[in-house]
Structure 1
C-alpha cells in the first residue's frame, strides 16, 4: 500500500503536536512517558520530532492521558492558525 504524501499543512500540524508533547513532558524522560503510554521510546521520539506527523488516535489519547492533557487542548493547540483575510 502506498501512502499519499503529506501536505505541508499536515506536516506543520505534526510539528505542532510534537512541540506540545515535548512541552507537556517537561523534564520527564522520553522512555518514562513512552512506557507509561504503552509505546516505544522511538515512536514517541518520531512523534515529538515530527517524523511521524499523523499518529493514530489511540496513540495520541494514551500520550494525552499520561501527560495530563485533554484531547480538547491537543485539538486547539494543533489546529492550523486562522487564515488571514486578504
Structure 2
C-alpha cells in the first residue's frame, strides 16, 4: 500500500505536536516518558522531531496522559490557525 504524501499543513501540525511534547516533557528523559507511555524512545523521538507527524490516536493519548496534558489542549495547540489568528 502506497501512503499518500503529507500536505504542508499536516507536516506543520506534526511539528507543533512535537514541540508541545518536548515542552511538556521538560527535564524528563525521552526514555522515561516513552516507557511510561508504553512506547519506544525511538517512537517518541520521531514524534518530537516531526519525522512521525501523524501518530496514532492512542499513542497521542498515552503521551498526553503521561505528560499531564488534556487531549483537548493537545488538539487546540496543534490545530492550524488561520493567518493572523492567535
State the TM-score, normalized to the length of structure 2: 0.95
List alignment gaps of at least 5 residues for structure 1. Answer: none
The C-alpha deviation readout for 1:12-66, integer Å capped at 9, x for no partner, is 0000000000000000000000000000000000000000000000000000000
Q: How many Å separate the matches in 2 of 1:39 and 1:31?
A: 9
Q: How many Å separate the matches in 2 of 1:37 and 1:57?
A: 13
List alignment gaps of at least 5 residues for structure 2. Answer: none
Runs of 4+ in structure 1 deviating by more than 3 angstroms, as ranges, are: none
**CA-based RMSD:** 0.7
Residue in structure 2 matched with residue 62 of structure 1 by the alignment: 62
State the aligned residue count: 84
State the TM-score, normalized to the length of structure 1: 0.95
**Is structure 2 residue 80 aligned with structure 1 residue 80?**
yes
Residue in structure 2 matched with residue 7 of structure 1 by the alignment: 7
Structure 1 residue 70: Cα displacement: 0.1
Q: Please show how residues 30-49 of structure 1 align to structure 2 within 5 Å.
A: 30-49=30-49
